């Protein structure tokens, strides 16, 4: 990182220079371990001292219980929310009350990116269980991105990933492909955050999974039952153990994101 002096505004409104509020709330190591930007920042050689300005932007939001709104469709877009603990779903509701689940967000992931344009949140975000967040003021984040290219690149990467998954789900894929890819994707996302990734609890209901995958709930249940008979998964309630990751990856390969050639 160059010697540019970073100056930004804290969530509380005061000016922050370098590490002035680096230890303002919580331990820095804990912050970096759960931060949605840590993967990009640390892989690019930025350390905690260099990222004091990013740390300064963080506002810890009070804990939400299950089923509470993080934001509602139509509210003015002011901030991004990073999940620290728990899980969130985003969804749209039709006029007759039918819900279409758009996505699920796990610890270390960002919600609200789709509000950047048209400057309001286009969907509802609801907690699936007891959840804690970090809130990033978007105007302050934009200012920081202009002087820390790695932050800007990571924002673009997060936006691209959301668009890419939405386009994949819109394609013609079988129920087996959709469910297998979903389980592998969840496992890999947990693994990236150092969480248990072969055996975990699904924070979302099967009806939510079905809505997200554009399938009927009974179809999801049939596919999971077939995977269990084949020895690919073990399921008890919402608890899932992935026993044949190779088979699941092969079954869901059509919905897996492409990787750049070396």
43-85 pLDDT tens trace: 555 555 556 666 677 787 889 999 999 999 999 999 999 898 9
Mean pLDDT of the chain: 82
Say yes or no: 176 and 216 in one domain.
yes
156-184 pLDDT, tens digit per residue, is 888 887 777 777 788 889 999 999 999 99
pLDDT above 70 for 214 = yes
**Nearest partner of 248 among 203, 204, 188, 200, judged by Cα:** 188
pLDDT above 80 for 41 = no
CATH code of the domain containing 244: 1.10.10.10
Report d(CA 181, CA 192) in Å as an integer.
16
Q: Is residue 2 part of a domain?
A: no
Q: Which of 143, 167, 191 lies at the terminal end of a domain, its last residue?
A: 167
How many of the other CB atoms lie within 10 Å of CB of 41? 20
Angle at 146 between CA 141 and CA 148, to 5 degrees: 85
Six-digit token pair at 164?
């890419």
Core vs surface per residue 179-209: b (16+ CB within 10 A) or e: bbbbbbbbbebbeebeeebeebebbbeeebb
pLDDT above 50 for 24 = no
Q: Which of 151, 167, 183 lies at the terminal end of a domain, its last residue?
A: 167
**Nearest partner of 138 among 162, 119, 160, 156, judged by Cα:** 119
Say yes or no: 67 and 177 in one domain.
no
Q: Is residue 88 part of a domain?
A: yes
Name the domain count of the chain.
2
Say yes or no: 156 and 190 in one domain.
no
Q: What is the domain range of residue 35?
A: 7-167
pLDDT score, position 61: 80
Mean pLDDT value of segment 222-244 = 97
pLDDT above 60 for 14 = no
Question: Higher pLDDT residue, 118 or 223?
Answer: 223
pLDDT above 60 for 30 = no
């Amino acid at each position: 990182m160059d010697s540019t002096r970073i100056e930004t505004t804290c969530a509380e409104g005061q000016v922050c220079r370098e590490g002035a509020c680096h230890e303002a709330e919580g331990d820095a190591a804990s912050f970096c371990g759960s931060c949605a930007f840590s993967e990009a920042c640390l892989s690019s050689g930025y350390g905690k001292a260099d990222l004091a300005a990013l740390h300064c932007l963080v506002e810890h939001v009070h804990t939400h219980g299950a089923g509470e709104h993080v934001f509602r469709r139509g509210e003015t877009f002011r901030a991004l929310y990073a999940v620290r603990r728990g899980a969130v779903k985003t969804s749209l509701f039709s006029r007759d009350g039918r819900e279409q689940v758009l996505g699920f967000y796990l610890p270390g992931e960002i919600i609200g990116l789709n509000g950047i344009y048209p400057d309001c949140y286009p969907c509802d975000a609801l907690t699936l269980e007891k959840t804690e967040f970090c809130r990033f003021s978007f105007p302050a984040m934009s200012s920081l991105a202009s002087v820390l290219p790695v932050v800007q690149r990571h924002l673009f990467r997060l936006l691209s990933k959301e668009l890419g998954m939405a386009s994949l789900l819109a394609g013609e894929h079988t129920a087996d492909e959709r469910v297998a890819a979903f389980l592998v994707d969840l496992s890999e996302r947990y693994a990236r955050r150092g969480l248990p990734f072969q055996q975990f609890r699904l924070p979302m209901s099967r009806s939510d999974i079905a809505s997200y995958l554009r399938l009927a709930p009974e179809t999801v249940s049939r596919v999971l039952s077939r995977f269990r008979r084949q020895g690919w998964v073990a399921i008890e309630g919402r608890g899932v153990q992935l026993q044949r990751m190779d088979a699941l990856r092969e079954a869901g390969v059509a919905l897996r994101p492409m990787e750049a050639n070396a």
